Structure formats: structure tokens, C-alpha cells
Structure 1
Amino acid sequence: MDISNPHPALPSAATPSLLPTGASTVGLSAWADIDLSAISDNVAELSRRAGDAEVMAVIKGDAYGHGLVPVAGAALAGGATHLAVAQLTEALAARAAGVTAPILTWLFAPGADLAAAIRADLTLSAGAPWALAEIAAAARETGMTARIHLKVDTGLGRGGAWREDLAGMFVDAARLQAEDVIDVEGIFSHFAYADSPDHPTVRAQQETFVAMVADAERAGLRPRLRHLSNSAATLTNPSAHFDMVRPGVAIYGLSPVPDIGGPAHFGLREAMRVTARLIAVKDCPAGQGISYAHLYTTPEATRLGLVPLGYADGIPRHASNVGPMQVHGRGYTVAGRVCMDQMVLDLGADSPAQAGDEVVLIGREADGEPTAQDWATAIDTINYEIVTRLGPRVPRRYLEGS
């Protein structure tokens, strides 16, 4: 599988540049190192925890900002048997790049080119009567049997069929399968509170899922792959593993249940490390307002460092005054407003920092570096968002064995 162009079907303006393995970062203002061996090892650990269940690695959102095609290869090397992306365009991009493993995709609009998806041997989700009908029509157009997973809503209240729609879909799917128009390979759903393992909805949704599978079987379907567990349930709820687990954020070494434990607690390690360089360091008097609207004022004479990343690169503007970074092993937070392209650090009067020195934005908990979880905690969000929003102006460098 060629990863020289990890996004062959995506516009170049939205595509992060790819640095050769081991490439020098001299002259770069910022970059993200992606440790592919960490991803493989994380998948192997998730597979071990899943027992007899297979692993479907979720690589949606450009693999949570880590890179669609390189991560696909690393996940498969770690033992994943299936891949999953949300958008049909990303699934087609993975196929165009040479990814041959089974890929499930579940978000497409009425009128989408499902015939192209079937010809590309993608697994399509049917979560509504119209989707099942359009998949069947596309299958007849191609003369091929469409492989599908039925999406059922067990209580999340989002995607997937339920109630009367679901009962009718089971009957229609069984008829279409008997005609070899479709192959109902799987049935799946999604937890609402898997990151709170003791929440009563977890058990309730699991029981509902079992009942829905039984209804499907009574209609004449025999789905071979039942999957309900996301990362949190894979790590905390073995009773929900069924035939396959569907982890996402844990693949990248981030904890889906930070209240229970960080990555190391679950035998995982972070795959992404984001580094920038100071592009200016200057002395500053006490009482100076910093950045737009002067949200921060220097309490004493100090030195300021300019970091060339901002919200155009995915740094949350809400991280103004709170986003964590590290220079020479010392921790800092953003001083003032996060701007579109840059932000400022108050380095302290005694800092030896100078232009060109490295700034760690996202690193590993075990190394005492700021983490995606630290950024998430600072702005009251989740670690998923922090890594996924990293923009295309930040080049990715893929590492093995680091």
C-alpha cells in the first residue's frame, strides 16, 4: 500500500503535506510526528482485550487527524480485520490509495453514487428505509451483490432505524438478500454513555441491541458481525464485544474514559506529537497587554515567545490564556488570545529560550509533556476534538518504532 499520497481523492488545499520518514524538521515552523508503531501496538492491545471478537478500526476524520492511509496500514498491521470511515468520500479515497481491507462507511445523502461504492467493494450502512432502497437499486444497476451492515438505533437518538421503520427494513432486507441483491453481513449500533460505564443506559442499550438482533433473525436474517462497542466499551465492557469491536480514539493512544485512567492505564500510548518552533523571542516590560483585546497583561518584566500556530491550524480559540505548552521542559499556557496564525507565551524573565527553540504542544503523558487530554480539560471538551482538528498546514511526519 503506497502512502506517498495519503489523501489521493481529497483537494490539495485540505491535504496535510507528508514528510519522508526521518526527514529533517530544520526550517519548519511546526509539524506533527505520527508514530505508526504506536498505532499498531494500540490496535494489538485492543484486539487482545476484545478476545474472540474482531477489531474494526475507525479511521474517520482523516484518522482523527493522524492520516487516513498511513493509519489504515498501521491498524491492519496491528491486527484489525476491518476499517470504518464515516464519509463515503473518505472510503473511496482509501480504496483509490490501495487499501484493500473491508471498509464500512455510513454517511451518505440520498442520490449519492452508491454504484461506485459497490464497485469499489465498500460495505455500506443502511440506517433508514430510503438508504436500503437506494443501495438495492445501485446493486441492481451494477449487477453485484451489495454488502451491508444494518444500523439500528438502540437509544442514542441519532442515526439508525428503530420502531416501525426497523421492522419493515428487516422484512425488506430479508427479501432482498434472498434475491442476492444484498448481503446483510452485519448489524450495529452505538452507545450514548459508553464513557460512563455504570450509566443505566449502557445496559439498557445492550439489551435493546440483543432484542433487535433477535428480531432480525426472526425476519430471516443471519448477520455474521454484530458490533456495538466503541473505544470505551471495548476497554470497559467485555459483555458488549459480540462479534466485533469498533474502537476509534483508543487506536491513537488516547483514553476514551480519562476519569478512569489515562493511556498507560489501558496499555496504550499516544501516537501524535505536535511540535512548533519559537519564531521570535523578545524582552517585555511589566504591564504590557498581550495579543488581541489584551486578555493577558504581563505581571512583571519578562520575555515573550511567539508560536506560529493558531486557530487556522486547529488550535482552539477557546484555549486563549489556558492552552498548555512546554519549552525546555518547562510548562506554560497561552498568554492572551489565540490568533488565526499565532499565539504568545510568557516565558519568564529567566528563560534561556531563543528563536528556533522547540515548543511541545501535544506529547505523551508518560514523558511529562502536555497532552491532548490536557488541552481538552483546559477548554472543557474531549481529546478526540483536539487531535482531529489539527489542520492541513501542519505537515505530518510518519515514524516507526519511536
Structure 2
Amino acid sequence: MSETAAAPTAPLRARAEIDLAALRANVRTLRALAPGAALMAVVKSDAYGHGAVPCARAAVEAGASWIGTATPEEALALRAAAGLPEHIRIMCWLWTPGGPWREAIEAGLDVGVSGMWALREVTEAARQAGTPARVQLKADTGLGRNGCPPGDDWAELVGRALRAEAEGLVRITGLWSHLACADEPGHPSIAPQLTLFREMVAYAEQQGVRPEVRHIANSPATLTLPESHFDLVRTGIALYGISPSPELGTPADLGLRPVMTLSASVALVKHVPGGHGVSYGHHYVTPGETTLGLIPVGYADGIPRHASGTGPVLVGGKWRTVAGRVAMDQFVVDLGGDEPEPGAEAVLFGPGDRGEPTAEDWAQAAGTIAYEIVTRIGTRVPRVYRNASV
């Protein structure tokens, strides 16, 4: 739940600049794509590394009416933070036995329930609290992670939840699921998942469930599958201006703007001869006389070690590449004889407006996805917020 002052008081070793105006614009774009549905802003994992509290506030300012987190602890911290209107619903879904059910009930959270053990625990906590729990039953329509399978298991979960509702212990506020391959246009799993979701929802409603919301759409489905929007869309990575996958297009193609810009101050520039080894293992040796720049962030800050030798950085208006291994606290770039002053800005990624790399460029360099690039930026890197006021 990190929150950092809007402006630094001294030069920073590194900074992740978060443009809240871009986030608001992304929310408005996503809402326009699903005009008949409410929008949930998913701010799990500290808003994918962007800062849960400021990002939740900005999303609500732009029209989000739900906030989503993975863990109950994330949701409880968000509910306790100042600045979110009481009418904004907060949902969390990743529970383990013995979780803080009573605290969640008393905080008015919506809780995901995927199996009988969770329903038993939440109903007992509601009995102790003297307040009904807001429960959303999750159907496993084909992702194979959390969620209740169709058939007898779903029938039992729905039946027991309805009995608990009749006893005043729960209120079934939602029926939901999650798509496995919405980020792969035309994937053959998409249509069967949507069909099964409709069938499982229809069964629950035939038994007497009257949900406030039915939802299955994540970011890629919100962007490309109008038939998946139902009553609510759950938008995560797209909020932060990152395309869910290159196959769907760039952020600009999708009408989105990246929210995070990661930069650092060049810590040292020095001349070295040809044949000079750089960083651990000497996986990079200078091909000739050159200058090296030291960038004071490393894998402890979330810079992927897998991007050793490939990660792009903008220094002095030119793309540079990580020379040798990324270390815990630092890495080196070969400046090719250029001599920027110590303290010059090195931009690792951003929107790309100034020719800088993007999070997707780093994902390609590290053999991963852009989600991981932004989410892994650690707490040693201060978040500095721009456009905090509407």
C-alpha cells in the first residue's frame, strides 16, 4: 500500500514516476468499451507496483465503482486507508483456511468463495460477527485454478450458500469466473468458457440466487470481447496502460497510456580500455576503448537478472544495453565513448514518448511479460506521483 510524496525533496537514486492522469484516462477508455457494465479497478500487488492507495483513488475519480485485490489483507488495508468513498465496493478472492473472515465481514468486503471449506468458514465468521457476509461464488469454467467445478460440486456450493442466505448468514452478491486465454485472440477455449459460465449462472439463478453482479471479463476480454462484459468488468493491467499481450496490440493501439516511468541517476562514468571485463563473470568484455556508465539499480530493485546483456536503457538520448550481468544493486551500460555527467537521467522504461524503452521492451529482453516488469519494481524505488489532483 505504498504512497510517496508527490515531489522529491532531493535527487533520487531511482524513481518510479506514476502519472495518475494517465491512469484516469485509461479508466475512461475502458469504461467506454464496456458502457453497460460497472468497472472494477484491480489493485492487487500494490496496484501492479504502482501504489494501491493512490491508484485506487484515481480510478474511483474516473468512474470505477469496484476495487479488486487478491488477498484479504490487501483489501482490509485499502478499506482502512483514507480517501475511498464508503459506497465503493472492495472485493478480494485469494483465501486460505483460517483467513481473516470476520474482519472482512465487518469491513463490508465482498469475498470470493470457491469451495465448501471457504463457505463453512465464512458462515461461521458471520455467525460470530452477527452480520451477513457478502459472498461471491466463483465458478471454474476452464482456467483450472481457483473456482468451483461444474456439476455436483457447483450444485452443492450453490445449495449450501442459499441455505446460509436463508439463515441470514450470507448474501450472495456475485457469480463470477476467470478466462484462461482471453489474451490470445480467437483461442478455442474462449467460447466454451463463456458458454459454461452462462450455464452455471443460469443454474444458480434457477435455484434462487439473485446476484448483484455477474462477471468474467479481465483486461483482454474487456478490450476485445464485448460478449463477456455481463454486469462488471475486472480490469487490471490495462488500467496501468500496458497491453495484456503483444497479440492484442500496443498500448497506443488500444487507446491506453503507460502510467509508470522508471528512471535512475547515472552514478559513475569512466574510461576503460578495450578488453576490459564488466560485471560478474565477465560475460561482457569491451570491444575497444570506451566509456562505461553505472546505473544504480539491480535485481534487488526488481530489475530482472534475465535481462543481463539485453535490457535497454535510454541515456543521453541514445538506447544503451545492459553490459554484462545485472547485479543486486547496479548494472553497467557501455556508453561507446559518450560522457554524460554523473547524475544524468537513465530511463529504463516509460510510455515511449521520448524514445525511451517500454515495459514491453524489457519483457522481451527478459523473456517474460510486461505485467512482471512493473509488478516486481521493489520498495527501495520511491513512487513519485504526478497529477494527483483531478
TM-score, normalized by the shorter chain, greater than 0.5: yes
Partners of 1:264 and 1:366 within 8 A in 2: no
Q: How many residues align?
A: 385
Counterpart pick for 1:398 among 374, 385, 389? 385
Partner of 2:58: 74
Mean Cα deviation higher: 358-367 or 338-347: 358-367
Q: Please say if 1:31 is aligned against 2:15.
A: yes
* Residue number in structure 2 paired with 1:381: 368
Q: For residue 348 of structure 1, what is the amino acid of its counterpart?
A: G
SS class of match (2:274)? coil
Residue deviations 1:302-324, cap 9 Å, x none? 10000000000001110100111
| Alignment partners' CA distance in 2, 1:205 and 1:185 | 21
Partners in 2 of 1:306 and 1:369 — Cα distance? 18
Question: What RMSD over aligned residues (CA atoms) do the two structures have, in Å?
Answer: 1.3
Q: Pick closer, same or farther for the CA change 1:44–1:169 going to 2, 3 Å.
A: same
Matching residue within 358, 362, 368 for 1:371: 358
User: TM-score by structure 1 length?
Assistant: 0.93
Per the alignment, residue 127 of structure 1 pairs with: 114
Matches within 5 A, 1:324-335: 324-335=312-323
Give the match for residue 178 of structure 2. 190
Give 1:132 deviation, angstroms.
0.9
2:250 aligned residue (262, 268, 286): 262
CA contact (8 A) 1:17 1:393 kept: no
1:333, distance to aligned residue in structure 2 (A):
1.1
Secondary structure of 2:324's aligned partner: coil
Verify the 8 A CA contact 2:183 2:248 in the aligned structure 1.
no
SS of equivalent residue, structure 1 residue 186: strand
SS at match of 1:31: strand
- Paired residue type of 2:135: I
Offset from partner CA, 1:237-262 (integer Å, 9 cap, x none): 01100001001000000011322311
CA contact (8 A) 2:134 2:171 kept: yes
Q: Describe the superposition over 1:257-310 as per-residue Cα deviations: whole angstroms up to 9, x where unpaired.
A: 322311111111011001101111000111111100011111111100000000
What SS class does the counterpart of residue 75 from structure 1 fall into? helix
Question: 3-state SS of the aligned residue for 1:183?
Answer: strand
SS at match of 2:70: strand
CA distance in 2, matches of 1:368, 1:129: 53
Instruction: Give the Å deviation of 1:352.
Output: 3.1
* Amino acid in structure 2 at the alignment position of 1:243: D
Q: Is the 8 A contact 2:184 2:247 kept in 1?
A: no
Distance 2:157 2:61 in 1: 36
| Maintained 8 Å contact 1:17/1:392 | no
Q: Which runs of 5+ in 2 are unaligned?
A: none
Question: Which AA in structure 2 matches 1:105?
Answer: C
* In structure 2, C-alpha distance between the alignment counterparts of 1:17 and 1:286, rounded to whole Å: 45
1:299 aligned partner, one-letter code? P
> Is the contact made by 1:252 and 1:269 (CA closer than 8 Å) also made in structure 2?
yes
2:143 to 132, 152, 156: 156
Distance in 1 between the 2:71 and 2:340 partners? 44
- Work out the CA distance in 2 between the residues paired with 1:247 and 1:52: 15
CA distance in 1: counterparts of 2:177 and 2:354, whole angstroms: 37
Residue identity matched to 2:7:
G
Q: In structure 1, which of residues 356, 362, 371 is the aligned counterpart of residue 343 of structure 2?
A: 356
- Quick one: which amino acid aligns to residue 144 of structure 1? T
Alignment of 1:33-182 (within 5 A): 33-98=17-82, 99=84, 100=86, 101-163=88-150, 164-182=152-170
Alignment partner of 1:230 is 2:227: no
What is the rounded CA distance, in whole Å, between the counterparts of 2:35 and 2:245 in structure 1? 20
1:199 to 187, 191, 201: 187
**One-letter amino acid matched to 2:176:** F
Partner secondary structure for residue 334 of structure 1: strand
Matched, 1:22 2:7: yes
CA contact (8 A) 2:3 2:53 kept: no
Q: Report 1:210-221 matches (<5 A).
A: 210-221=198-209
Q: SS where residue 6 of structure 2 aligns? A: coil
The offset of 1:183, in angstroms, is: 0.9
CA drift of 1:401 comes to: 7.5
Listed one character per residue, the Cα deviations across residues 84-131 of structure 1 (whole Å, up to 9, x for unaligned) are 000111111101113332110011211112111111111111011111
Cα distance, 1:224 vs structure 2:
2.2
SS of the equivalent of 2:189 reads helix
TM alignment of 1:285-296, pairs within 5 A = 285-296=273-284
